[in-house]
């Protein structure tokens, strides 16, 4: 489905990012795996499943830096020969704490990583996409199916959570940013959507104390935590042909939690 196209996935060393990279590569995209830490384990786990490593390139970048993001987007074009037309903003952090105790630095770190960085990436990728469209330099694949951006927010952005004022603010902001950027970019052939995962079995969820996880499990109508692949399937739908008329949407993948 994505043959000849370049996807940029942030947070590719993490639990959900790894599954997103795998599904896009399996569907023919060349994936730029972007993370603060090495994505070598992600790439190895995918090649162990029989997929060629030539479809993945690793970039170790701090996405909160505007100059690094700008350089990254042009470097990917140089390395792959195609501009990025699929962007999955998946990197995220938590710095939890009671509101009255939360350090300003923890608030800023979460807002910078979870909200400002996806803005910087969206802007850099959209600029490249739009300028190539104007110059008529896009491949027929890219000009016929357009660009697609998927922001991985969180169900916490909809309902809030104890000890997560910074995280909930950033994830709620991502929903607003998705809708506004979908309006700005529709005319340029770029769709923007967001996914709200519920509780998914990844290192991020493993950091939650078992007592709280058990309580959460009891609240999930389907009765169990999701897998990273459940989120990756949502990304595939939104980026692929099936989602070609979908923009500005919010897709909850939560097992029914907080519906
Ligand atoms: P994870 O911690 O496994 O992965 C996050 C990745 O982001 C890490 O590899 C980390 O190195 C990377 N990252 C952090 N800061 C970065 C930076 N400045 N530059 C580049 N990379 C950076 O987390 P996950 O569980 O895979 O979550 C992925 C996304 O899904 C996050 O945005 C998270 O908020 C969201 N989410 C997760 C869950 C869940 O239950 N796991 C639920 C709702 C939403």
What would the pLDDT profile of 138-158 be if each residue is shown by its tens digit?
Answer: 776 666 678 999 999 999 999
Count Cα neighbours of 1 within 13 Å in the Cβ-side half-sphere. Answer: 18
Of 70, 20, 9, the C-alpha closest to 45 is 20
Alpha-carbon distance of 131 to 26, in angstroms, equals 29
| Length of the chain in terms of residues written | 259
State the average pLDDT over residues 26-34: 97
- The pLDDT score that the predictor gives to residue 212 is 84
Catalogue the active-site residues: 167
Contact 18, 88 (CB under 8 A): no
Beta strands in 49-170 (DSSP E): 56-60, 84-89, 147-152
- Give the Cβ contact number of residue 38 at 10 Å: 13
Which atom of ligand 1 sits closest to the CA of residue 94? 34
| Atom 18 of ligand 1, residue of closest alpha carbon | 62
Alpha-carbon distance of 106 to 86, in angstroms, equals 30
4 Rama class: left (phi>0) / alpha (psi -120 to 50) / beta:
left
For 26, the 3-state DSSP assignment is helix
> What percentage of the chain exceeds 70 in pLDDT?
98
Question: What tens digit of pLDDT does each residue of 183-239 get?
Answer: 999 999 999 999 999 999 997 777 788 888 898 899 999 999 999 999 999 999 999
The overall pTM is greater than 0.95: yes
Within 8 A by CB and 6+ apart from 28, the residues are 1, 2, 3, 4, 5, 55
State the average pLDDT over residues 90-104: 97
The finding on whether 203 has its CB within 6 A of some atom of ligand 1 is yes
Distance 156 CA to ligand 1 centre (A): 14
């Amino acid at each position: 489905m994505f043959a000849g196209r370049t996807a940029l996935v942030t947070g590719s060393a993490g639990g959900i990012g790894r599954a997103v990279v795998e599904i896009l590569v399996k569907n023919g995209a060349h994936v730029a795996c972007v993370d603060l830490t090495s994505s070598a384990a992600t790439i190895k786990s995918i090649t162990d499943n029989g997929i060629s490593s030539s479809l993945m390139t690793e970039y170790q970048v701090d996405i909160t830096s505007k100059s690094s993001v700008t350089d990254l987007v042009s470097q990917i074009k140089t390395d792959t020969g195609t501009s990025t037309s699929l962007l999955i903003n998946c990197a995220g952090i938590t710095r939890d704490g009671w509101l009255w105790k939360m350090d300003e630095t923890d608030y800023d770190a979460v807002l910078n990583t979870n909200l400002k960085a996806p803005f910087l990436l969206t802007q850099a990728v959209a600029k490249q996409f739009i300028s190539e469209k104007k110059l008529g330099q896009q491949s027929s694949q890219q000009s016929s199916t357009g660009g697609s951006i998927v922001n991985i927010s969180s169900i916490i952005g909809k309902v809030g959570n104890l000890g997560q004022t910074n995280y909930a603010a950033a994830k709620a902001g991502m929903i607003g940013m998705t809708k506004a950027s979908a309006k700005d970019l529709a005319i340029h052939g770029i769709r923007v959507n967001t996914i709200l995962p519920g509780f998914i079995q990844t290192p991020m969820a493993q950091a939650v104390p078992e007592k709280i996880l058990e309580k959460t499990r009891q609240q999930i109508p389907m009765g169990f935590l999701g897998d990273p692949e459940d989120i990756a399937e949502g990304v595939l739908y939104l980026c692929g042909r099936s989602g070609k008329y979908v923009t500005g949407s919010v897709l909850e993948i939560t097992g029914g939690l907080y519906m």
